């Protein structure tokens, strides 16, 4: 378990960079919608905040939803989707303008530590050993 926690934490950090930078999709007439994913590395509990008016409120909602003392914000984005993918080796988080884009980015990030994880992007999730843990999309995701 210790190995998984260390790998998961490192993958999470890599996923956070991808999730925070890659995820802004196109806004629609409804205005920007913000979302966030929080995660507890100790318990693997996650929480989400979605369709809020700011990053700050999305992050506060995600931390409250996660509910553990060690919950951390793993990704925040506007106008799109965020995904946590999981394997026996850890987790990765990414965001993108669509669910598919977010999943592909998360599997790619996880693939740095679970080499077969990117196979899931091509419809081979059983062979990859990776799966989608959580998906969160704002109401105005494309």
pTM of the model: 0.72
What pLDDT is stored for residue 118 in this prediction? 52
Q: Bridge-partner residues for 85, per DSSP? A: 92, 132
- At 12-26, the pLDDT tens digits run 444 443 344 344 444
Contacts of 118 (CB under 8 A, 6+ apart): 107, 108, 110, 111, 128
**8 A C-beta contact, residue 25 and residue 141:** yes
Rounded Cα distance between 9 and 76, Å, is: 17
Burial of residue 98, with CB atoms counted within 10 A of its CB: 0-12 exposed, 13-18 middle, 19 or more buried = middle
- At 43-101, the pLDDT tens digits run 989 999 999 999 999 999 999 999 999 999 999 999 999 999 988 878 889 999 999 99
């Amino acid at each position: 378990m210790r190995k998984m926690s260390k790998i998961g934490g490192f993958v999470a950090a890599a996923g956070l960079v991808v999730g925070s930078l890659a995820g802004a999709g196109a806004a629609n007439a409804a205005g920007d919608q913000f979302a966030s994913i929080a995660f507890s590395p100790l318990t693997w509990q996650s929480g989400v905040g979605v369709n809020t008016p700011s990053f700050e409120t999305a992050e506060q909602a995600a931390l409250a939803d996660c509910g553990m003392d060690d919950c951390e914000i793993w990704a925040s984005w506007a106008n799109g989707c965020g995904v946590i993918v999981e394997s026996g080796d850890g987790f990765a988080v990414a965001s993108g303008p669509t669910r598919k884009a977010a999943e592909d980015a998360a599997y790619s990030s996880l693939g740095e530590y679970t080499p077969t994880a990117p196979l899931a992007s091509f419809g081979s999730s059983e062979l990859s050993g990776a799966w989608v843990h959580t998906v969160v999309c704002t109401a105005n995701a494309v």
